[in-house]
């Protein structure tokens, strides 16, 4: 009679694995039924096709020898296919009783907790097993556990991500001398030798940041000074200060200064030439005044009243130049 491996500790198609040492054989040994495709006699037709003998554990594997019922024609057909190599797989019907998420028990590719204790309910001959070590997992009610991918089950919980061990490809590669993983060129930019320590890299980065902050502060000070000088020179208005400071921070202080050089001085309405107010002849000075207008007709009408009030002597002079005689007394 050919022996068969009933169960091993490899990861199966359910995403779990069963510790062979935790399989309770006591109940099954009292009734070692052998079924076909895990079919129970619920309908009165699917009867056992034999029994399992010489059940034992070797090297973490559950092994046994199937013995077929010679009084059952269907069982004899299965036996023939078994002995002639047309059927080669057996499957254990197990009832999980205890599972563990312990990472030490988890193997690569495992998605559910490890079955540490279970009960062997039956063994079946199968045509195509769920994997190389075919298993049939049952609940306490002897019904098949349906464990679709990603579907949780109280009897066989899914592992959490933290329970799953890293594969060799997933483990990060660390440089013990440089955990920041900086390459040679980056270290050279910091002025550091290859193999610099974390402390050296951190110090160099802090120094670089300090220098950058200092440069930004100096630039802002220079831009602010240039803008304030432009306001004093009446190139821009005070309310434009923030705008030109922002412009200088982005364009640079040199370009900002060049821009101010090309801008004319802004004039206020009250800065209109005061028609010789500041250059009117001083009595007894014997110096000819700087004449802005030759005659009264040259003075814009909008300025004549101001000229009459603020510079009556200049007004009278221009009047005489215009009409050829003295100006009447001004009230």
Output the DSSP codes for 46-110.
Answer: ----EEEEEEEEETTEEEEEEEE-TT-HHHHHHHHHHHTTS--EEEEEEEEEEEE--GGG--TT-
Amino acid 153: pLDDT: 60
Secondary structure element (H or E) that encloses residue 30, with its range? helix 26-30
Give the pTM.
0.44
Q: CA-CA distance, 45 to 88, in Å (whole number)?
A: 24
Amino acid 143: pLDDT: 55
Amino acid 137: pLDDT: 56
Amino acid 275: pLDDT: 46
Amino acid 154: pLDDT: 62
Over residues 289-305, mean pLDDT: 76
Please provide residue 197's backbone torsions phi and psi, each rounded to the nearest 5 degrees.
-80, 170
Higher pLDDT, 56 or 145: 56
Is the pLDDT reported for residue 270 higher than 70? no
Residue 282 half-sphere exposure, CB side, CA atoms within 13 Å? 4
Tokens of residue 91, six digits: 């499957």
User: Contact 271/296 with Cβ under 8 angstroms?
Assistant: no
Secondary structure element (H or E) that encloses residue 120, with its range? strand 114-126
Q: CA-CA distance, 272 to 195, in Å (whole number)?
A: 72
Residue entry with tokens 């359910």:
14
Q: Is 134 exposed, middle or buried (0-12, 13-18, 19+ CB in 10 A)?
A: buried
Higher pLDDT, 135 or 233: 233
pLDDT, tens digit, 9 for 90 and up, residues 186-232 = 777 777 787 778 887 888 788 878 877 777 888 888 989 998 998 88
Q: CA-CA distance, 139 to 94, in Å (whole number)?
A: 8
pLDDT tier at 305, thresholds 50, 70, 90 = confident
Reference 116, options 137, 101, 135; nearest CA is 101
Tokens of residue 301, six digits: 């009408």
Is the pLDDT reported for residue 132 higher than 70? no
Amino acid 71: pLDDT: 93
pLDDT tier at 295, thresholds 50, 70, 90 = confident
Is the pLDDT reported for residue 22 higher than 90? yes
């Amino acid at each position: 009679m050919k022996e068969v491996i009933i169960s091993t500790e490899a990861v199966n198609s359910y995403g779990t694995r069963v510790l062979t040492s935790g399989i309770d054989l006591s109940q099954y040994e009292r009734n070692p039924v052998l079924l076909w495709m895990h079919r129970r006699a619920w309908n009165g037709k699917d009867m056992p096709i034999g029994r399992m003998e010489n059940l034992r554990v070797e090297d973490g594997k559950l092994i046994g020898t199937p013995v077929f019922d010679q009084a059952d024609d269907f069982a004899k057909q299965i036996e023939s296919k078994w002995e002639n190599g047309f059927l080669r797989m057996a499957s254990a019907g197990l009832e999980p009783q205890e599972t563990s998420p312990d990472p030490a028990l988890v193997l690569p590719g495992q998605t559910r907790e490890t079955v540490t204790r279970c009960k062997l309910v039956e063994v079946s001959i199968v045509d195509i097993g769920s994997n190389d070590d075919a298993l049939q997992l049952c609940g306490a009610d002897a019904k098949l556990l349906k464990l679709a991918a990603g579907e949780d089950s109280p009897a066989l919980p899914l592992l959490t991500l933290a329970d799953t061990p890293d594969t060799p490809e997933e483990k990060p590669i660390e440089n013990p001398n440089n955990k920041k993983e900086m390459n040679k060129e980056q270290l050279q930019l910091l002025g550091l030798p290859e193999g610099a320590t974390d402390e050296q890299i951190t110090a160099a980065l802090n120094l670089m940041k300090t220098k950058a902050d200092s440069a930004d502060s100096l630039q802002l000070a220079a831009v602010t000074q240039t803008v304030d000088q432009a306001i004093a020179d009446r190139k821009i208005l005070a309310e434009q200060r923030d705008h030109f400071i922002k412009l200088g921070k982005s364009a640079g202080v040199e370009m900002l200064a060049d821009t101010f050089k090309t801008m004319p001085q802004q004039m206020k309405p009250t800065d209109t030439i005061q028609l010789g107010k500041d250059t009117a002849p001083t009595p007894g000075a014997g110096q000819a005044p700087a004449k802005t207008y030759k005659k009264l007709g040259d003075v814009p009408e909008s300025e004549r009243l101001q000229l009459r009030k603020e510079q009556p002597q200049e007004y009278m002079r221009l009047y005489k130049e215009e009409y050829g005689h003295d100006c009447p007394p001004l009230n």
